[in-house]
Amino acid sequence: MPDVYRNKVYDLGAWRNVVAQYVKVSGSWVAVTAMYTKVNGTWKTSYPFPLSSDTTLSALTVNGSDVLSTLAFAAPNGTTSVTLAATATNPASTITGLGARSVSLAGNPNNLNVVVTAEDGVTTRTYTIVVTVAPPSTVTIYWAYCSSGGYEPTQTGNATISGTNDPVVACNNKKAELGNPPNWVCQGTSAPAAPGCTPVPPTPCCQTSYSTFDGRVGNTCYYTFYQTDPCAGTTCPNVPYTVVVPSSGSCPEF
């Protein structure tokens, strides 16, 4: 004998709505329009039984975590699938979209639909759970800067930084680690173009060009040596010079 539940009969592997019932009256089958049953002293309709339109859920989880109120779930980096589970408020409702569902970082935000069909077989409600897969917790950055206080040669480098996936943050941290070098350029995609660095200036090489005799006081002869810089083209300071001679001697010439 087939199972009977409220206004449905389970037959041939599926629940089917009972659309009519008949009783034989005076040898003829007559359609039953209503049947009543007294429950706790009160008559209640037993046929046609009012089928529920309730589509609410009493529980909804992703990987065991409750998401019924938020409909959102944060998955760790590398997650490729999550498991959805749910419980309908009315056990006669049906739910689709449960079990293992595919997600990915490229698919963010991953919208996963769970559909509840009420007992009446007509009313439905869709719950959309947004699953966000976290990006990697590391980032590779490339940098270049001018060495020697802003002069050439250009220094370059790269590194994979952990603890962040933001290349701006990683670049700023690396710049501070290297002592905030001048002309810093850094990015997280590929090696940046070399910054414009100032050529290292030549080292001054002061040489005496000529000298003058500035006079004698007692036994001391005073001179000034005037210098030039043929290497760097800078101004070199004059160099004072003195020579002590005997009282009867004369000041030498340079």
How confident is the prediction for the chain on average, in pLDDT?
88
Task: For residue 61, give the amino acid letter.
Answer: T
Per-residue model confidence (pLDDT) at position 183: 87
Percent of the chain with pLDDT over 70: 94
As a whole number, mean pLDDT of residues 219-223 equals 92
Query: For residues 240 and 39, which has the higher predicted lDDT (pLDDT)?
Result: 240
Query: For residues 232 and 192, which has the higher predicted lDDT (pLDDT)?
Result: 192
Strand order through the sheet with 207-217:
207-217, 220-228, 239-244
pTM of the prediction? 0.50
pLDDT surpassing 60 at residue 69 = yes
Q: Where are the alpha helices (DSSP H) in 97-148?
A: none
Ordered by start, the domain boundaries in the chain are 3-47, 57-133, 138-187, 207-244
Q: Residue for token digits 């409220």?
A: 6
Query: For residues 91 and 7, which has the higher predicted lDDT (pLDDT)?
Result: 91
Report d(CA 129, CA 14) in Å as an integer.
29
As a whole number, mean pLDDT of residues 28-46 equals 83
Q: What is the pLDDT of residues 117-175, one digit of tens each?
A: 998 889 999 999 999 999 888 899 999 998 876 666 688 999 999 888 889 999 999 99
Per-residue model confidence (pLDDT) at position 151: 63
User: How does DSSP classify residue 150?
Assistant: T
As a whole number, mean pLDDT of residues 73-98 equals 96
Residue 204 DSSP SS3: coil
Query: For residues 92 and 62, which has the higher predicted lDDT (pLDDT)?
Result: 62
And the tokens for 3? 């199972």
And the tokens for 161? 């930084």
pLDDT band at 5 (very low <50, low <70, confident <90, very high): low
Residue 18 DSSP SS3: coil
Q: Residue for token digits 């100032």?
A: 198
* CATH number for domain 57-133, candidates 3.40.50, 1.25.40, 2.60.40, 1.20.950: 2.60.40
Element (H, E) at 242: strand 239-244
